[in-house]
Amino acid sequence: MSKSERNQRNVIIVYADDLGFGDLSCYGSHQISTPNLDRLCAEGLKFTNAYSTSAVCTPSRYSILTGRYPFRNSRAHILPGDAGCIISPELDTMPKLFQRAGYHTGIVGKWHLGLGDGSHPIDWNQEINLTPVDLGFDESFIFPATADRVPCVYVEGRKVVNLDPDDPIEVSYEEECPFDDIPTYHKNPEMLEMRSSHGHDMSIVGGIGRIGYMRGGSKAVWKDEDLAETFLSRALRFINDSQNTEQPFFLYYALHQPHVPRVPSARFRGATALGPRGDVIAELDWCVGQLIEELRRLDILDDTMIIFSSDNGPVLDDGYVDRAYELNGTHRAAGPLRGGKYSKFDGGTRIPFIVSCPNLVRRGESGALISQADLFASFAHMLDMPLEPESAVDSQDMYAALIGEDPVGREELMVEDVTCGKMLRRGNWAYLSPSEGAPFMGNVRIETGLSMDPQLYNMDYDIGQQTNVAWDYENVVKDMEERIQRIVRSEGTR
Ligand code: NG6
Ligand code: CA
């Protein structure tokens, strides 16, 4: 029996960072051209009601890998670069599921779920005792947190790449810089190649102000313009290595684009009229194109399931002066949605979601309601692998929706904004539970959707969430609020 007959298709999740619902040409952008993703979309299924579980990174990534809502983990918030790993090695994960099914598993790219078991501060010069290789990934080539957080190094398996014992790496997230011999934002402005608009004013690494302080490791520090090609070449290497095994593969390819700081490789500088943010989206699209080309060359494209999505919605100015606002023109990064990254409005969590597998998945568009947390249980179905009751407790089997056989998907799903406030989507209703906080984040210029008033929007007629009809549908509001409270108290909804 061939691998595909046993449903053992290769699976690749390509996970962009901060890419909005309107950022791709196949999702309506006229200003940014993404021909490779457009082709993937044309040959696959384009979802219009798919959500991440959070409007920021760490919690969404926690959910996609564990099938659990972020509120179940009190540490699932944007992590500093020296945080301990928030996924305990005992917890079941999606890559472990693939391992159990006999797959060769790998991660390449952004991690941002913490490293080390947290029992002591990480010594970046030694082997790290808890990394993706302990959580189900046979191979791991990552950067620890985000491109704007130190340490700006790659970690392969358990070790920082290109360690030099004569130049040890030290990292600090204290407010005051504990290292007096390193360049910092306020002390050495002459070294800056990109200015910050807010934050990002601690260490200067590669001419860019970062979050956190870092000393040493000069041979290990990445070059920002090389990140895309480095990760891409590692992803291709993983796929090629997998061909030498008898196993199918699962690859989680977590792109770093278009998160700040946006530094495209030379060939994409000026690729769009939108400045660096547009250019790195063009670069991201090229990376996906290269990946697809390699699968075609290896003659495995038709039986490889590719899922392309993003961890949260878009932001233009996320802390660096890269003219994202000024050059944005008429581009709408969140498409017709209100808000963006951080937000409780749909712009925060409704994201592009494309599924392609020419020999399996129907082509077209799907309005099925689906959460990224559902991938876990859906793959368990595909692989015909049972799940323990305590595994992936918020993951629903949406396999039929993923391959285009079920146009409806979930009855309801829940998401969180940056403050962990909740939104429940059920059918055409989006209910934003009251929570504290400013309605507008001035520094990033995004509407948060935070309000002490309940908000209810009819997504069929009001995709831009302009008309709050909560007062007209008090019963719906009451019911949806109670439902949120029940989910939050429950052990899971699978
Ligand atoms: C914020 C950062 C922002 C980004 C975000 C995390 C500042 C002022 N802002 O705190 O630049 O790094 O965290 O983004 O530091 S995420 O996509 O990883 O969630
Ligand atoms: Ca993100």
Which residue type does 274 have? L
Q: Which ligand is nearest to the CA of 52?
A: 2
Q: Work out whether the CA dihedral 449, 56, 313, 221 comes out positive or negative.
A: positive
Mutate to test the pocket of ligand 1, among 110, 277, 318 (most ligand atoms within 8 A of CB): 318
Q: Work out whether the CA dihedral 120, 224, 326, 283 comes out positive or negative.
A: negative
Q: How far is the CA of 311 from the centre of ligand 1 (A)?
A: 13
**pLDDT category of residue 223 using cuts at 50, 70 and 90:** very high
Task: Find the mean pLDDT for residues 195-203.
Answer: 98
Q: Work out whether the CA dihedral 154, 155, 161, 165 comes out positive or negative.
A: positive
- How many Å separate Cα 242 from the centre of its chain? 24
CB of residue 148 inside a 6 A radius of ligand 1: yes
Task: Find the mean pLDDT for residues 368-386.
Answer: 98
- Average pLDDT of the chain is 97
CB of residue 16 inside a 6 A radius of ligand 1: no
pLDDT reading at 346 higher than 50: yes
Q: Which ligand is nearest to the CA of 441?
A: 1
Q: How far is the CA of 418 from the centre of ligand 2 (A)?
A: 11
* C-alpha to C-alpha distances, 351 to 64, 260, 378, nearest whole angstrom: 14, 18, 19
CB of residue 110 inside a 6 A radius of ligand 1: no
Q: How far is the CA of 333 from the centre of ligand 2 (A)?
A: 14
Q: Ligand 1 atom closest to Cα of 198?
A: 8
pLDDT reading at 129 higher than 80: yes
What CA–CA distance (Å, rounded) separates 98 from 382? 11
**pLDDT category of residue 76 using cuts at 50, 70 and 90:** very high
**pLDDT category of residue 493 using cuts at 50, 70 and 90:** confident
- Contact between 72 and 420 (Cβ < 8 Å): no
pLDDT of residue 1: 45
CB of residue 112 inside a 6 A radius of ligand 1: yes
**pLDDT category of residue 2 using cuts at 50, 70 and 90:** low
- Listed residue (85, 83, 51) closest to 69, CA to CA: 51
pTM across the whole model = 0.98
Task: Find the mean pLDDT for residues 328-349.
Answer: 98
What CA–CA distance (Å, rounded) separates 475 from 458? 14
Mutate to test the pocket of ligand 1, among 146, 213, 342, 446 (most ligand atoms within 8 A of CB): 146
pLDDT reading at 426 higher than 90: yes
pLDDT of residue 492: 87
CB of residue 57 inside a 6 A radius of ligand 1: yes
- In eight-state DSSP terms, residue 74 is T
| Residues around ligand 2, an ion, CB closer than 5 A | 17-18, 57, 311-312
Q: Which ligand is nearest to the CA of 318?
A: 1
Task: Find the mean pLDDT for residues 216-243.
Answer: 98
What CA–CA distance (Å, rounded) separates 46 from 28? 12
Which residue type does 153 have? V
- Could you read off the pLDDT of 29-66 as tens digits, one per residue? 999 999 999 999 999 999 999 999 999 999 999 999 99
pLDDT of residue 3: 56
**Contacts with 418 (C-beta within 8 Å, 6 or more apart), sequence order:** 54, 55, 56, 78, 341, 342, 343, 348, 448
Task: Find the mean pLDDT for residues 398-409.
Answer: 98
Mutate to test the pocket of ligand 1, among 56, 175, 203, 341 (most ligand atoms within 8 A of CB): 56
CB of residue 317 inside a 6 A radius of ligand 1: no
